A and B are shown apart, each in its own frame.
Chain A
Amino acid sequence: MKIKYDRSACQGHNRCYMLAPELFDTDDEGYAILLVDGDIPAELEEKARLAADNCPEFAIEIEE
């Protein structure tokens, strides 16, 4: 599983950082930073899906 994060769609809602801090940080303006490059560790897959499914801007996609 990989995460595709679209920085241009992100508006800093901060949902991904709240739900999956292992996968997303935020910059000093509150926009998301994807922390994982490449495959998501199996134990974080559910958190990745949660982050994607709660983004109001559809800025996060999961590629399985």
Chain B
Amino acid sequence: MTDVRPPVADWATDFDHQHPDYAANATDIWDGLRANCPIAHTNRYGGAWFPTRHEDIAAISKDVVHFSSQGVVVTEDRPEIPAPMGYAPPITSDPPFHSIARGIMLKFFSPKAIDAWEPTIRETCRRLIANIKAKIDAGETTIDIAADYSQHIPVSVMADMLSLPREDGDLFRGFIHNIMEQAGEEPPYEESMDFYLDTHVAKRRSNLGDDLISYLCQADIEGMPLLDEHVRGTIGLLIIAGIDTTWSAIGASLWHMAQSPKDRDRWNNDPGVQPFALEELLRFYAPVTMARLIAEDIELGGCPMKAGEWTLLPFPAANRDPEAFDQADEFVIDRERNRHSAFGLGIHRCVGSNLARLEVRIAMEEWMAAFPDFELADPDAVTWSTGQVRGPRQLPVLFSS
């Protein structure tokens, strides 16, 4: 569907974040709008706004009265909303239900609970690197590490966390593609993620374990078990929000390192810089642009935002706002002051942020230990995703023996 989108005449009045030109030029588009606009609009998608300043993006994130989370992926149609949960609680829930649904998830995703996954993630990364080394040994010189490394890490971790077969990773990626990149085009139920999840949740209810699906099956709200739609929606959320995003963050981090001998050298020889480098990678290559449905008319920065329109929340643009960051458009590997908003701001802060951070950290540690020096096979062969999750989808790296 991306190949038939009309060309964008003017990014300030006709922006389209699903257009291939956006994928190719996103950072320049954000910078241009921020300097000259700074809140863009489009009549596409039934009307949508695109703020680019940190201050405006933070203000919208924290205003849950005028901006509803019941729609978080911009589509032509408006979502059908099973109130009060939305279709994927808690990300699509508004207060007061939001904090109830979120509280259930927070316990599973707290920093201390998530630390227990480190050995599993490390084992996954090492297994993928061993496969890549076997390909190199077999004579392959160009390997797409988006396909062979970054994408498999969150898929594998999520399958383990949900106690679903790792081999179902291809299915997960199909569901994600349908929802994120072909937003609005519904497959038949038997081919949908809902069907897949309904089937697995029903099976799990009669055979509970210590996985996240079992945890949700046993969770309650004031003594009442969660509705089937709630369990299904939350697991769907984890698959949709936990895979593409982390894949993108790891891929973009590798893309950066492949092109910066200076930063590779610093990472390899100064381990103390790594915690700051990881946050700078998250700032500079934040993958996620969220969205809100405007619930009540409001004026922001002189822009008349109307109920029923969308607004995007491009956190990657906020992270490059020179009013919020010194040297905002430069990657500073040892940036120690870094209030980036890669995981959002306000009550919908990414519930999986501790997991995502852990995956990015271990993915980078293991990769850099295995391949301290590596470079792109062809910078022009790298492709970036369109839409609300931004990251490299093809990342061919050259391995000369």
Interface residues of A (CB under 8 A from B): 11-15, 17-19, 26-30, 50, 53-58
Check A13 against B343 for contact (C-beta < 8 Å).
Answer: yes
B111 on interface, CB distance cutoff 8 Å: yes
B215 on interface, CB distance cutoff 8 Å: no
22 residue pairs from A and B, CB less than 8 Å apart: A11-B346, A12-B106, A14-B354, A18-B111, A18-B275, A26-B112, A27-B110, A28-B107, A28-B110, A28-B112, A30-B106, A30-B111, A50-B336, A53-B336, A53-B337, A53-B339, A54-B279, A55-B339, A56-B339, A56-B341, A56-B345, A57-B346
Contacts of B339 in A (CB 8 A): 53-56, 58
**Alpha-carbon separation in the docked complex, A61 to B323 (Å):** 20
Contacts of B111 in A (CB 8 A): 14, 17-18, 26, 30
Interface residues of B (CB under 8 A from A): 103, 106-107, 109-112, 275, 279, 336-341, 343, 345-347, 349, 353-354, 357
In the complex, residue of chain B having the shortest beta-carbon distance to the beta carbon of A12: B349
**Alpha-carbon separation in the docked complex, A50 to B42 (Å):** 40
**Alpha-carbon separation in the docked complex, A54 to B111 (Å):** 17
Q: A14-B111, A26-B112 are in contact. Are A56 and B340 (CB under 8 A)?
A: yes
In the complex, residue of chain B having the shortest beta-carbon distance to the beta carbon of A26: B111
Check B110 against A30 for contact (C-beta < 8 Å).
Answer: yes
Check A11 against B349 for contact (C-beta < 8 Å).
Answer: yes
**Alpha-carbon separation in the docked complex, A14 to B349 (Å):** 11
CB distance from B158 to the nearest CB of A (A): 19
**Alpha-carbon separation in the docked complex, A32 to B279 (Å):** 19
Contacts of B112 in A (CB 8 A): 26, 28
CB distance from B91 to the nearest CB of A (A): 14
**Alpha-carbon separation in the docked complex, A28 to B107 (Å):** 6
Check A29 against B106 for contact (C-beta < 8 Å).
Answer: yes
Q: List 10 additional contacts besides A29-B107, A53-B339, A57-B345; criterion CB under 8 Å.
A: A13-B353, A26-B110, A26-B112, A28-B112, A30-B106, A30-B354, A50-B337, A56-B340, A56-B341, A58-B339
